[in-house]
Amino acid sequence: MKFRGKIFIFGDDINTDWIISGRYKFAINDMKELCQYIFEDIRPGFYKKIIPHESIIVAGSNFGMGSSREQAPWVIKESGILCVIAKSFARIFYRNAFNIGLPLVEADTSHFKKNDILEVDVDRGEIENSRGDKVVNFLPFDKFRKDLIKLGGIINYLRKYGDFKI
């Protein structure tokens, strides 16, 4: 499984309220509409820069810290962002993201530069950039995480593999 896209770089400690502002979390129920406000408080107009299914977020440490609300990973996925690569993730954000089928990669992000195009190979655990000067390694995804991504999250996974109906 591979993802290829242009990157958007963020720093450390990106919290869930910066991903989607608290003033919208409960006021807007339609996820496509909510996507318009992604990162609005720290990068106004960011939604217009996303190239659906050709964009990747790259960040520093502790991405997704803060509340446990699922709107933060949902809005990233629904806006068409392929995956998020960060040095580390807040644990609840990490779990919520995989539960909805949003791929997260923990890797050294210090070598990536603005406008890089990355190819992320989750089977081999490698990230190559278009400049060709560095391959960054990470722990390859196991079958369970790949299945969560392919099936769109834990609910669809349980529908396919569970012994019960949801």
Q: What is the mean pLDDT of the chain?
A: 90
Task: Tell me if residue 37 falls in helix, strand or coil.
Answer: helix
Q: Say which CATH superfamily domain 2-161 falls into.
A: Aconitase, domain 4 (3.20.19.10)
25-78 pLDDT tens trace? 677 778 888 889 999 999 999 999 999 999 999 999 999 998 777 889 999 999
pLDDT at 21: 82
With tokens 């210090």, the residue in question is: 110
DSSP letter string, 66-120: S---THHHHHHHHTTEEEEEES-B-HHHHHHHHHHT--EEE---TT--TT-EEEE
- Mean pLDDT over 152-163 rounds to 86
- Of 24, 36, 41, 56, the closest CA to residue 122 belongs to 56
pLDDT at 166: 55
pLDDT at 164: 60
Q: Where are the domains of the chain?
A: 2-161
